C-alpha cells in the first residue's frame, strides 16, 4: 500500500505528494508524514509503514531511510527482538563474542563469570582445582562445588578442595 500527504501551502496546495524515504503516512493524508520510529527504516517513498530492523541489530535515530541504518549489536551485547532502538548487555554468567547476535552464550559448567557485557569466553573463569559448577551460566566463585571424592567450601578463587580420606 502506498501513501501520500496533501500539501497545505504554496502554489501547489492540495496536491498529493508521496511521503519521502524514512517516513510514512498511515492515516489521514492531510496530517502529513511521520518519521520512521527508532528501530525501523523505510527506503521507499510513499509507503504506509516502516520496516523493522532485524534481531541482533538496532537503529537509535528517527527517520532512517535505509536497511544499512540497522547496526549490528556489539560484542558483549544482544537483541532478540526486531524493530528495537538499542541492544542489551549480556548478563553475568554469559558472553557474546560475535557482533549482531540475538542472544548470549552461557559460560560452560566448571566456570563462572562475575561481569556483564563480556565479549569473550575468556571472561568465564575456571573453578579452583577439583571443583566444578552444577550448571552452565554460573555467576560467582561461590557457585563452584568440590567434585565427588573431595571436600571443602569454595568462597574465593584461592580456596581448594581436599581429597577425602579412603575408607
Q: DSSP readout, 35-98?
A: EPPTTEE--STTBSSPEEPPTTEE--SSSB-SGGGSEEPPTTEE--SSS-S--EEPPTTEE--S
Question: Would you place residue 72 in the very low, low, confident or very high pLDDT band (cuts 50, 70, 90)?
Answer: very high
The predicted pLDDT at position 1 comes to 46
Torsion angle, alpha carbons of 43, 49, 55, 56, to 10: 40
The residues, ordered by sequence, that sit 6+ positions from 11 with a Cβ below 8 Å of its Cβ are none
114, pLDDT greater than 60: yes
Pairwise pLDDT comparison (31 vs 2), residue with the higher score: 31
The predicted pLDDT at position 45 comes to 93
- CA dist list (Å): 15 to 7, 9, 79: 6, 10, 42
122, pLDDT greater than 90: yes
Whether the CB-CB separation of 2 and 15 falls below 8 Å is answered with no
Span of 40-44, 76-80, 116-120, 162-166 with lowest mean pLDDT: 162-166
What are 158's three cell numbers?
584461592
**To the nearest whole number, what is the mean pLDDT of the chain?**
91
Closest CA to 5 of 17, 13, 22: 17
41, pLDDT greater than 90: yes
The predicted pLDDT at position 16 comes to 79
Say which DSSP state 127 is in. Answer: P
Percent of the chain with pLDDT over 70: 89
Distance from C-alpha of 83 to C-alpha of 60, rounded to nearest angstrom: 10
Percent of the chain with pLDDT over 90: 83
Model confidence, pTM: 0.82
The predicted pLDDT at position 156 comes to 94
Q: What is the mean pLDDT of residues 111-136?
A: 96
Amino acid at each position: 500500500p502506498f501513501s501520500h500527504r496533501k500539501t497545505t501551502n504554496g502554489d501547489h496546495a492540495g496536491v498529493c505528494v508521496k511521503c519521502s524515504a524514512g517516513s510514512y503516512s498511515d492515516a489521514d493524508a492531510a496530517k502529513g508524514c511521520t518519521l520512521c520510529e527508532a528501530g525501523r527504516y523505510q527506503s521507499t517513498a510513499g509507503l504506509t509503514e516502516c520496516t523493522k530492523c532485524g534481531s541482533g541489530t538496532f537503529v537509535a535515530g528517527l527517520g532512517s531511510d535505509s536497511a544499512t541504518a540497522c547496526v549490528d549489536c556489539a560484542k558483549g551485547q544482544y537483541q532478540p527482538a526486531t524493530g528495537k532502538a538499542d541492544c542489551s548487555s549480556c548478563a553475568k554468567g554469559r558472553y557474546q563474542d560475535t557482533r549482531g547476535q540475538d542472544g548470549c552464550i552461557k559460560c560452560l559448567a566448571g566456570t563462572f563469570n562475575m561481569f556483564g557485557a563480556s565479549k569473550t569466553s575468556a571472561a568465564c573463569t575456571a573453578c579452583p582445582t577439583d571443583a566444578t559448577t552444577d550448571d552452565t551460566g554460573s555467576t560467582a566463585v561461590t557457585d563452584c562445588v568440590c567434585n565427588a571424592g573431595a571436600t571443602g567450601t569454595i568462597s574465593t578463587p584461592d580456596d581448594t578442595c581436599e581429597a577425602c580420606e579412603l575408607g
